[in-house]
């Protein structure tokens, strides 16, 4: 019977490991996603800078078209000058020419401003590109590391499950069923030691006769309060059985 208890303790140790492997494995995709979002942020900054530059180029082309339209307008007005007959007509044409000049000057100012901002935007692009490349290669390295870790943990989990199956085969099914129920209900604590006649799972007193029986260790006992399996601490077989 002591052997049964030793096996139940091993079963619990293995199940705690299995739970840890599952948790570790389950956390990896989220860790990769979090790292990816850092890289995506740098990509967004680069894309924004490129888009701002493209936008600036479109605006520049539009200003060039406007400037050309004003130049055409000016040429057309000037062809009218030789045919002018009255002072009034002459003044009107001069006013029109002045208005065109003012518009052209306004367009030129905007072009100048735009060229300056385009130049400074263009200078910043390599910085954004470098930041993105750096983040991208760091992410790829991290992702590869995490994928390798996942593969390793998956293998460990598989091994631990196989060990569990082997162990379960050697145990009485009624103990395994009872153990499984308690393990689930008591969040991974199904086999606990006795200390000063107190169950170390629920911290309630155990009947003196049962304490004696547990110490003798010929049978398997469960705490009458919390149903956990009880063992006498000296008999804790942490290394008693090979894995
Ligand atoms: Zn108890």
Chain segment 26-40, per-residue pLDDT in tens: 999 999 999 999 999
CB burial of residue 95 (10 Å; 0-12, 13-18, 19+): exposed
Is the pLDDT at 236 greater than 50, yes or no? no
CA of 224 to the centre of ligand 1 (A): 7
User: pLDDT tens digits for 208-232?
Assistant: 999 999 998 888 999 999 999 999 9
CA of 217 to the centre of ligand 1 (A): 17
**Cα distances (Å, whole numbers) of residue 52 to 44, 47, 55, 59:** 12, 8, 5, 10
Q: In degrees to the nearest 10, what's the CA dihedral of 111, 115, 116, 117? A: 100
Confidence of residue 97 (pLDDT cuts 50, 70, 90): very high
Buried b (16+ CB within 10 A) or exposed e, 67-89: beebeebbeebeeeeeeeeeeee
Buried b (16+ CB within 10 A) or exposed e, 137-146: eebeebbeeb
pTM exceeds 0.85 for this model: no
CA of 191 to the centre of ligand 1 (A): 10
Is the pLDDT at 239 greater than 60, yes or no? no
What CATH code is assigned to 19-169?
1.10.287.1490
Compute the radius of gyration of the chain from its Cα atoms: 41
Q: State residue 233's pLDDT score.
A: 86
What span, in angstroms and rounded, lies between the C-alpha atoms of 150 and 73?
71
Mean pLDDT of the chain: 93
Range in 59-63, 78-82, 97-101, 148-152 with the lowest mean pLDDT: 78-82
CA of 228 to the centre of ligand 1 (A): 6
CA of 229 to the centre of ligand 1 (A): 8
CA of 210 to the centre of ligand 1 (A): 12
CA of 24 to the centre of ligand 1 (A): 30
Q: State residue 187's pLDDT score.
A: 85
Q: State residue 115's pLDDT score.
A: 95
Buried b (16+ CB within 10 A) or exposed e, 201-232: bbeeebeeebbebbeebeebbbbeebbbbbbb
Q: Where in the chain is the domain with CATH 1.10.287.1490?
A: 19-169
- Write down the residue that tokens 């006769």 correspond to: 209
Using a CB cutoff of 8 Å and minimum separation of 24, what contacts does 111-116 make? 111/60, 111/63, 111/64, 111/67, 114/56, 114/59, 114/60, 114/63, 115/60
Q: State residue 78's pLDDT score.
A: 92
Phi, psi (degrees; rounded to nearest 5) at 223: -55, 135
User: pLDDT tens digits for 152-211?
Assistant: 999 999 999 999 999 999 999 999 999 999 999 998 899 999 999 999 999 999 999 999
CA of 222 to the centre of ligand 1 (A): 8
Q: State residue 162's pLDDT score.
A: 98
Q: State residue 243's pLDDT score.
A: 36
CA of 170 to the centre of ligand 1 (A): 26
């Amino acid at each position: 019977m002591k052997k049964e208890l030793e096996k139940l303790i091993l079963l619990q140790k293995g199940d705690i490991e299995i739970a840890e492997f599952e948790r570790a494995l389950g956390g990896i995709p989220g860790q990769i996603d979090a790292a990816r979002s850092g890289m995506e942020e740098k990509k967004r900054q680069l894309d924004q800078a490129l888009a701002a530059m493209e936008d600036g180029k479109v605006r520049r082309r539009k200003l060039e078209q406007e400037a050309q339209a004003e130049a055409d307008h000016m040429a057309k007005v000037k062809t009218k000058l030789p045919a002018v007959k009255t002072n009034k007509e002459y003044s009107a044409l001069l006013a029109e020419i002045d208005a065109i000049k003012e518009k052209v000057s306004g367009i030129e100012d905007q072009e100048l401003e735009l060229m300056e901002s385009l130049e400074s935007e263009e200078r910043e692009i390599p910085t954004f590109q470098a930041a993105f490349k750096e983040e991208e290669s760091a992410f790829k390295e991290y992702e590869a590391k995490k994928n390798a870790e996942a593969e390793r943990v998956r293998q460990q989990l598989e091994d631990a499950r196989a060990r569990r199956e082997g162990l379960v085969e050697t145990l009485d099914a009624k103990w395994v069923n009872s153990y499984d129920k308690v393990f689930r209900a008591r969040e991974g604590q199904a086999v606990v030691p006795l200390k000063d006649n107190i169950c170390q799972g629920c911290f309630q007193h155990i009947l003196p006769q049962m304490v004696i029986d547990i110490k003798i260790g010929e049978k398997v006992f469960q705490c009458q309060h919390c149903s956990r399996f009880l063992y006498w601490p000296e008999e804790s077989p942490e290394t008693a059985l090979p894995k």
